[in-house]
């Protein structure tokens, strides 16, 4: 439990230290699939339409995703993953053919923009 507390505490510090609240949208890319991350990031940037946005990758994205899964602390957060946070089942929709990758990116992941 302490380890998880440390992770979310680091995430909180990162959010504050980096001033992420000043952005209109914060895209978290916690997955390791670089090609998918690039596709989601490109779609995100195309959809910004003059709004201020930032993409966060790697460990910081994983930590912020962990924090956000506990507490939806901002309506600015978009999680660019088919599998994260735990319990998200977008990959099942893709694998079963219910939805295409582009549909999931545009309509589900970036649908709140």
pLDDT tens, residue order, the chain (113 aa): 678 789 999 999 999 999 999 999 999 999 999 999 999 999 999 999 999 999 999 999 999 999 999 999 999 999 999 888 776 788 888 888 888 989 999 988 898 88
Q: Which of 88, 97, 108, 92 is nearest to 30 (CA)?
A: 88
Q: In terms of pTM, does the model score above 0.85?
A: yes
Do residues 64 and 11 lie in contact, with contact meaning Cβ atoms separated by under 8 Å? yes
Q: Which residues contact 49 (CB under 8 A, 6 or more apart)?
A: none
Confidence (pLDDT) at 43: 96
Do residues 80 and 94 lie in contact, with contact meaning Cβ atoms separated by under 8 Å? no
**Beta carbons within 10 angstroms of residue 77's beta carbon:** 20
């Amino acid at each position: 439990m302490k380890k998880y507390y440390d992770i979310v505490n680091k995430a909180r510090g990162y959010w504050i230290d980096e001033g992420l609240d000043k952005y209109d949208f914060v895209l978290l890319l916690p997955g390791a699939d670089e090609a998918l991350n690039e596709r989601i990031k490109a779609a995100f940037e195309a959809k910004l339409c003059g709004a201020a946005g930032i993409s966060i990758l790697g460990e910081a994205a994983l930590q912020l995703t962990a924090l956000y899964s506990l507490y939806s602390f901002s309506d600015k957060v978009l999680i660019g993953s088919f599998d994260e946070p735990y319990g998200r089942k977008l990959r099942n929709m893709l694998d079963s053919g219910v939805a295409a990758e582009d549909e999931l990116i545009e309509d589900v992941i970036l649908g709140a923009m």
